[in-house]
Chain A
Amino acid sequence: MDATSPAPSSTPPSRSRFWNKAIKLQQLYLLVLPSTCIILLLGYYPKIDVVVKSMFRWKPGEVEEFIGLKNFVDIFNDPTFWASFQLVFILLAANLVKMWPGIFAAVALNRLTSDRLRYIFQVLFVVPMVIPGMVWLLIWKSFYEPSGGLINRILRGSGLMGFLDFLDSAMPQVALFADKSLSPEKLEGLSLHPNFIEPVFGGSWGLIVIGLFFTLLANHGDERPKRIHAAGLIAAASFVPLLSSRIPGGSGSLLVGFVVFVTLMALLARCLGPMWVLWMFGFAASLYAFKGQFALLILWTLIVLGLSELIRTMKERFSAEAQIKTIGTVFSILGIVLLLVTQTWTETTGQFEQGTPAWLGNKDLVIPALLFWGFPWVGTVGVLIYLAGLQQIPQDVYEAAELDGIGPIGMLFRIELPLILTQVRINLIFMTIGTLTAYEMFLILLGPNGGPGGKALVPGLYIFKKAFLEGRFGYACALGMVLFFIVLGLTIIYNKYVKVDK
């Protein structure tokens, strides 16, 4: 990076020196010119054009009429668009889980004792890249075929199909159990009294909130406010899909309200300190969860506060923080599991009886099929990148850890993971951007309408559909801008909270 352009050794007259410099600069500009032009023309211009065209009623070659912000107003009243985020957040959560097998594979490779074996594996991991992406996609699609597909053959062969058939009749019963909105006709024929969770805990969401309460309580007076703050924001973000699904009609406007709410809390956190905001958030969330049952809310708040006081007075004698945290986690997990159970498998699909479930053709099966897609979720290049990071960890770090009596699992979380956090973080950001904007796979697999019942309609696919199928190009641009800002917001949050501590 050293500046070699001005040559200080010779001192020619100033004019020729100026020209010399100009010629040198000109050469440099010529070197960067091609890249810059290409990027400005093909990279930036289309993206800026999206911003401009979002204010037009636009169909190339036919209409181009300035309509101001009307497209954006339409978006806020477009329930399909906001509903599509529900799926994308599910996929995002799933992808967060799916990152782990790759990390484990890299760690396992790195810990191999034999260098030669590791090299062989390293090369083998590259080989699957020779399959073109489209071929990979189409082959996996063939795995899902109802009668001849590999997955159904394996399920039938191993007897799992029968188990799935059993679950198919059992799970909806379980779902009824904790369902908040039970219709009378559904109640008939149930032997156990339903809704036992709701009167006590305020439903599954109530459980999650109580769990959060407990976790907060354990962190009371903790020295790590940043982490709590982050947890609060993540929890807040988890309400977005819920809100967008629960409120019909103008869900868009509600989402905006919610975003404003979160921003406000982030600002407050800056000024007042995170604890304030977190308790406020907890209160707001619990108001939602226990809606209409304030007595229960007050009761639980009192219980939690009482326990909090109890712990504080006994703190000298024993530290129960870990246990309280466990209680909180158990509550939250229970709530999340219940939520999943009660909201996912609510109807009998009837697909498993004949043993030929149409994974990609049934509205109830398409999302599980997409979640399982690509098992065991190891991107081979990702593994090699992690591995490259892991191999930079010096030997003595491991030795020191070993002396401290840290076992193999402890090493994973205390040494290996923190030291490859840079790679993980970059992967995380690109994964998030990729998940939120993805549509190619859905288009190829399920067509532009988002598969059976529009269940797999992701935002990107919706944009594609609006533009190329319905010809509303300007509206698609506006949708694209909204999606872009959501992605940008998430990227910024990641950059802020997933920091590399060295």
Chain B
Amino acid sequence: MPKQFNKATEALKIGYVLFVLGFAFLPLFVMIVVSFKSNQQYQQNPFFFDPISDWHWENWSIAYDMVSSMIWNSVFVSVLSTLTTISMVLLSAYALARYRFPGRNVIYYLIIASMFLPGTAATLVTVFNLLKNMGLINSLWALILMGTNAGQIAGIFLIKQFIEDIPGSLFEAAQMDGAGHIQQIINIVIPMSIPVISICMITDFLGTWNNVMLPLIVLRDQELLTIPVGLMRLEGEYVKQYGQMMAGYAISSIPLIILFIFSMKTFVKGLAHGAVKG
């Protein structure tokens, strides 16, 4: 875009980007390659596929039995927490962006300030205590609640800015037609800000999906474990069967792969739009 450099520099740029991308893809590649190997094959050649006749497909079925319940727990937690987050965020971002009312600034700054108030490990202590008092220890609802909290801040910040850029006349026209707040959100805000909403939803989903510490201290029962904690336990407990472990890792990535197949385009676009302002 900026300027035509010569071919050598062009190759240099592409080379660097490919180098970086290569390392970014390395874990993915290793995961797939090793997931078809027995331990012995892994010791001999961890770098590339063996001939297809030697592949150990059973790694995947064994791994599926190990991780399937965790996946469903994680899906349950992440989907629910993303949905509650985004609906709450839309409601308050709409109100904060469109109207001035007493206390508006207080609420807004309260939300933004907590972005720069980092929680340390000590916060984990008090959160644990709070959840205990609420009777949510060893319950997936604790994770959903905390996930909802984590997504609010950045979500409101980004979506509020986006709503402010929607022409006010659209809302006025809708009001003329007698549309209430909720109808305005559904009919105007959501269609107009799909890129930024999808960004928020994906980051919420990933945040809850990848959360380790909270499930680690909150969940007790084996059958409630979410993916990260479950994988951590598996990695620690086992006499390491690398093939099965990697197959388990790969299976636990599948929900995210599905998510990204459907949202890749909006995500890339949204990152280009929304992130600049943040």
CA distance A117 to B1 in the complex (A): 11
Choose among B2, B122, B149 the residue that contacts A43 (Cβ–Cβ < 8 A).
B149
- The majority secondary structure among interface residues of chain A is helix
Cβ-defined contact, A129 with B256, below 8 A: yes
Number of A-B contacts (CB under 8 A): 307
For residue B164, which residues in chain A have a CB less than 8 angstroms away from its CB? Answer: 1
Q: Does B187 contact A (CB under 8 A)?
A: no
CA distance A487 to B118 in the complex (A): 8
For residue B148, which residues in chain A have a CB less than 8 angstroms away from its CB? Answer: 38, 42
Cβ-defined contact, A50 with B125, below 8 A: yes
Q: Does B79 contact A (CB under 8 A)?
A: no
Cβ-defined contact, B235 with A138, below 8 A: yes
Which chain B residue shows the least CB distance to A34? B88
Cβ-defined contact, A110 with B213, below 8 A: no
CA distance A135 to B226 in the complex (A): 13
CA distance A105 to B242 in the complex (A): 33
- The majority secondary structure among interface residues of chain B is helix
Q: Does A139 contact B (CB under 8 A)?
A: yes
Which chain A residue shows the least CB distance to B163? A1
Choose among A1, A34, A423 the residue that contacts B92 (Cβ–Cβ < 8 A).
A34
Which chain A residue shows the least CB distance to B206? A129
Which of A193-201, A301-309, A390-398 forms contacts with chain B?
Answer: A390-398
Q: Does A49 contact B (CB under 8 A)?
A: yes
Cβ-defined contact, A139 with B27, below 8 A: yes
B15 CB to closest chain A CB (Å) equals 9
A247 CB to closest chain B CB (Å) equals 25
For residue B98, which residues in chain A have a CB less than 8 angstroms away from its CB? Answer: 1, 4
CA distance A381 to B213 in the complex (A): 23
Encoded as 1 (CB less than 8 Å from any B CB) or 0, chain A from 39 to 77 comes to 111111111011001100000100000000000000000
Which of A216-224, A231-239, A278-286, A475-483 forms contacts with chain B?
Answer: A475-483
Cβ-defined contact, B27 with A136, below 8 A: yes
CA distance A14 to B174 in the complex (A): 26
Which chain B residue shows the least CB distance to A139? B27
Cβ-defined contact, A25 with B101, below 8 A: yes
Known: A50-B123, A111-B13, A131-B253. A384 touches B268 (CB 8 A): yes
For residue A40, which residues in chain B have a CB less than 8 angstroms away from its CB? Answer: 110
B259 CB to closest chain A CB (Å) equals 8
For residue B126, which residues in chain A have a CB less than 8 angstroms away from its CB? Answer: 45-47, 49-50, 53, 477
Q: Tally chain B residues at the interface, Cβ within 8 Å.
A: 102
Q: Does A312 contact B (CB under 8 A)?
A: no
Q: Does A402 contact B (CB under 8 A)?
A: yes
Within 8 A of B (CB), among A1-49: 1-5, 25, 27-29, 31-32, 34-36, 38-47, 49
For residue A483, which residues in chain B have a CB less than 8 angstroms away from its CB? Answer: 120, 122
Q: Does B52 contact A (CB under 8 A)?
A: no
Q: Does B24 contact A (CB under 8 A)?
A: yes
Q: Does A439 contact B (CB under 8 A)?
A: yes
For residue A487, which residues in chain B have a CB less than 8 angstroms away from its CB? Answer: 118, 120
Cβ-defined contact, B119 with A132, below 8 A: no
Choose among B17, B129, B272, B273 the residue that contacts A121 (Cβ–Cβ < 8 A).
B17
Q: Does A355 contact B (CB under 8 A)?
A: no
Q: Does B170 contact A (CB under 8 A)?
A: no
Choose among A111, A130, A399 the residue that contacts B260 (Cβ–Cβ < 8 A).
A130
For residue B17, which residues in chain A have a CB less than 8 angstroms away from its CB? Answer: 105, 108-109, 112, 121
B8 CB to closest chain A CB (Å) equals 11
Cβ-defined contact, A42 with B120, below 8 A: no
For residue A43, which residues in chain B have a CB less than 8 angstroms away from its CB? Answer: 114, 149, 152-153
For residue B128, which residues in chain A have a CB less than 8 angstroms away from its CB? Answer: 60
For residue B145, which residues in chain A have a CB less than 8 angstroms away from its CB? Answer: 38, 42
A145 CB to closest chain B CB (Å) equals 9
Known: A38-B148, A60-B129, A111-B3. A464 touches B121 (CB 8 A): yes
Within 8 A of A (CB), among B240-272: 242, 245-246, 249, 252-253, 256-257, 259-260, 264, 267-268, 271-272
Q: Does B275 contact A (CB under 8 A)?
A: yes
For residue B96, which residues in chain A have a CB less than 8 angstroms away from its CB? Answer: 32
Q: Does B80 contact A (CB under 8 A)?
A: no
Cβ-defined contact, A388 with B271, below 8 A: yes
Cβ-defined contact, A134 with B228, below 8 A: yes
Which chain B residue shows the least CB distance to A491? B116
Encoded as 1 (CB less than 8 Å from any B CB) or 0, chain A from 123 to 148 comes to 11111111111111011111100001
Pairs A-B, 7 closest by C-beta atoms: A480-B122, A134-B228, A463-B121, A42-B149, A133-B210, A31-B95, A35-B92
16 A-B contacts (beta carbon < 8 Å): A28-B181, A34-B88, A47-B114, A113-B1, A119-B268, A123-B268, A124-B21, A128-B24, A134-B232, A140-B27, A376-B19, A376-B20, A398-B2, A398-B3, A467-B124, A477-B122
